[in-house]
Structure 1
Amino acid sequence: MRSSISLGRVGGVPVGLNISVVVIVVILVVGLAFGRFPIAFPGLSTAAYVLAAVVSALLFLASLLAHEVAHAIVAKRHGLGVNGITLWLLGGVAELRGEPRSPGADLKIAGVGPLTSVVLGGLFALVAWGVSAIAAPPLISGMFAYLAVVNVLLAVFNLVPAAPLDGGRVLRAFLWARWHDRMRAAVAAARAGRVFGYVLIALGFLNLVSGLGLQGFWLALIGLFLVNAATAEEQQTQIDAALHGITVGEVMSRDPVVAHPDETVAGLIDRLVLRRHLSTYPLLGDDGRFAGLVTLGRVRRVPPDDRAITRLRDIACPPSDVPTAHPGDQLTELLQRMSGDADGRAVVLDDAGRLIGLVTPTDISRIIQTVDLRAREPYRTPRGADLAPPPPAGRTPGGPDSGGPASGGPAPGGTVPPSGRRDAA
């Protein structure tokens, strides 16, 4: 889930809003201003109800953000990276790079979110009591009481033992500690999440046929999200185990075809694009250093009339934005760094910083398709803290091979499941 509106950084972590947040804000404001508040506190003006509803909606979003920031802070303390935090239609997402290295760390990262929501619920309840004690308008104390209840309900819902909810992470940590097998524990938690999702979908349909349309719709929507996320998480766990121990050098396309930054788009099309089945073109400057990455998608976005005057450097992904690796790096670790890259490619450098290969969508797809054909030794099935971090979020890479003739296709299942923590509220 990508951010559409940046809110800056909290503790060095990028924070943003997805445009779908507008939907939940509108629903909250309308429901509170023209439903809950007028019924509970009659006799006030419409403007008062709308103002209280807007403040409640904003404080609710702030509560969701605090929940996710807590996950991010504890995750960073345990050595995990955090790509960012995004608030969206069904709650918040803290996108973590990698996975905890022990059941204890897993438990702390998962548990701190609901704990934060409970603490916020207590604080809002305290504010509601204080406001009531000073004889402030009942609407104000009612607003804070509502936020107290919502935060406690958010904590309770997230503690349901079903991945990808926080309770699913807690279940995973418990089973990991008991079985000493993180992959088995993660699969069990994901399957519990899928079952819980189907239950919510069934309850949603029951509510729909019973006349509770909006409530049934939300239950079904959350259930569908949980089913998809849990299924993706199980797939990712299995893929991660399969890719454990594979290095970048085993996967990369060697000796990529390169271009010069000052070459025009039209020149590249005539020289390579129409003659070679390639989709990625690294740029090398006069000093032989990597100077950017041009993909077929970037070439196609240049208007035909501008191709003769547009330089490749003008459309390239800059070097600082392209993930890099060395041949001996673990593939799973590189995939994490590629998760936030819109072009979905990485370059491989030698110890002197010279370009020696690419990791492309087709390279990743091919290794996933053929990993079960490899001998299991010397790669052992990961257990416990030996498990390497999982692949990144996003779809399974596919498409033309950037380092050679087109080949391969989508990986089994069609997606590489998301690695970030996703909490539905």
Structure 2
Amino acid sequence: FEISIDWSWLLIFFLVVSTLAAGYFPSLRHHFDVPTTWLLGVAAAILLFASVLIHELSHSLVARRFGIDVRGITLFIFGGVSQTSEEPRSASEEFWMAIVGPVTSIGLAVFFGLLEAVGIAAKWPMPAVALVGYLSTINFFLGAFNLVPGFPLDGGRVLRSIIWGATGDLGNATKWASYSGQVFGYLLMGVGFAGIVTLGSLIGGLWLMFIGWFLTGAARASYEQLVVRQALSGVPVARIMTTDVPEIPAAMSVRQFVDEHLLRHDYACYPVLVGDEVIGVVGAEEVRTVPAQMWDMTPVERIAHRIDGAYKVSADDDVWDALSKLASPDVCRLMVMEDGHLKGTLGREAVYRLLRTKMSGM
């Protein structure tokens, strides 16, 4: 699977390096010179994010052990996240997938702590001892922080698995784990604000408030996502697909397409066909690539956006799975295919209508 780095990771990387080089390592009173503290800062930041990657790899490996496909791992400003194709199917799977991350981080803390002890006994250079000492401490705090029982932290997932296992109700378990995560987020924001007011710790206080704000929003969004998933799961695409979107022959001129279809309907895009085969889609965005004076001479086939599997679903597919494809900004509509033939199309508006109907009945 793919390991990617979000741009926000670079921001936190430079922040960690500067904080360690200008604050942490000089505070150890080992009288390191400035170049040494900055080298230690860079090395510690790289190894910290390597530790975060190992933490996320442990989640991914356990997920694969349970037969759950892992699309990739993304490192970002708050650490990392493993992107799985589906949620755990049982409380026990949820528990083991969640708990392995903190256990791995605490295991790394023990490993680096032993290295520190060996380094002190063997009289390693003090910069090396300071480096492994920092890695031991930060991995312990990483593991402990992730054990906080608030969604979406690992500890929140552990809490959800326990409630889920005890009650058999995933929705209720997610709701309470989400509430716990929101309470912890608000608590962090309160502590950060108090630190600014009472201690004058502007940077530290703002950072805690920022983390608390992120956790609160993520906890709320996690529960809302489950509600949406439960509302859409089990509904086949065939129930809400549209069959009245005009099919555009590839040989039709852009002028005819604009006059007869684009100006008369509100669809974001239209399927383009050669015979019975869908070769692409066309909409206003594609039309804008051709000067108006060329519309009469340009066939739609020339400007059609070619599609792949990301644009296609079957009539029996789940609406929730279809929504994951529609989430891509590149996908204007999904082509509902059966035995290689176009049976209809599915747009976001149809999914939103179904969701509003389902939610109003809850």
Q: Above 0.5 in TM-score? A: yes
Distance change (3 Å), C-alpha of 1:347 and 1:130:
farther
> Structure 1 residue 231: deviation in Å?
1.1
User: Which residue number corresponds to residue 365 of structure 1?
Assistant: 352
Measure the CA separation in 1 of the matches of 2:144 and 2:159: 14
Three-state SS of the structure 1 residue aligned to 2:235 is coil
Question: 5+ residue gaps in structure 1?
Answer: 1-12, 377-425
1:224-239 matches, cutoff 5 A: 224-239=213-228
Using structure 1 for the length normalisation, give the TM-score: 0.77
Distance change (3 Å), C-alpha of 1:258 and 1:145:
farther
Moved more, 162-171 or 255-264: 255-264
Give the letter for the 1:103 counterpart.
A
Distance change (3 Å), C-alpha of 1:369 and 1:147:
same
Distance change (3 Å), C-alpha of 1:49 and 1:273:
same
- Is 2:57 aligned against 1:69? yes
User: Which residue number corresponds to residue 148 of structure 1?
Assistant: 136
Note if contact 1:265-1:299 (Cα within 8 Å) is conserved in structure 2.
no
Counterpart selection for 1:275 from 264, 267, 275:
264
Give the letter for the 1:158 counterpart.
N
1:163-174 matches, cutoff 5 A: 163-174=151-162
Question: 5+ residue gaps in structure 2?
Answer: none
> Structure 1 residue 173: deviation in Å?
0.5
Measure the CA separation in 2 of the matches of 1:82 and 1:265: 42
User: Which residue number corresponds to residue 326 of structure 1?
Assistant: 314
> Structure 1 residue 371: deviation in Å?
1.7
User: Which residue number corresponds to residue 207 of structure 2?
Assistant: 218
1:21-420 matches, cutoff 5 A: 21-210=9-198, 211-260=200-249, 268-284=257-273, 286-296=274-284, 298-299=285-286, 302=289, 316=305, 318-322=307-311, 324-339=312-327, 342-343=330-331, 345-350=333-338, 352-372=339-359
Measure the CA separation in 2 of the matches of 1:289 and 1:362: 25
> Structure 1 residue 135: deviation in Å?
2.4
Three-state SS of the structure 2 residue aligned to 1:325 is strand
Three-state SS of the structure 2 residue aligned to 1:112 is helix
> Structure 1 residue 41: deviation in Å?
4.6
> Who wins on radius of gyration, i.e. which is larger?
2
Note if contact 2:335-2:345 (Cα within 8 Å) is conserved in structure 1.
yes
Distance change (3 Å), C-alpha of 1:68 and 1:300:
farther
Give the letter for the 1:153 counterpart.
F
Measure the CA separation in 1 of the matches of 2:266 and 2:241: 17
Note if contact 2:282-2:300 (Cα within 8 Å) is conserved in structure 1.
no
Distance change (3 Å), C-alpha of 1:30 and 1:130:
same
Moved more, 82-91 or 41-50: 41-50
Give the letter for the 2:192 counterpart.
G
Measure the CA separation in 2 of the matches of 1:22 and 1:15: 15
Measure the CA separation in 2 of the matches of 1:204 and 1:191: 20
User: Which residue number corresponds to residue 401 of structure 1?
Assistant: none
Aligned-residue identity in percent: 32
Distance change (3 Å), C-alpha of 1:288 and 1:231:
same
Distance change (3 Å), C-alpha of 1:319 and 1:38:
same
RMSD: 2.6
Using structure 2 for the length normalisation, give the TM-score: 0.89
Give the letter for the 1:237 counterpart.
L
Cα deviations by residue, 1:34-92 (Å, 9 ceiling, x for unpaired): 11112215433322221111111111111111111221222222232333221111111
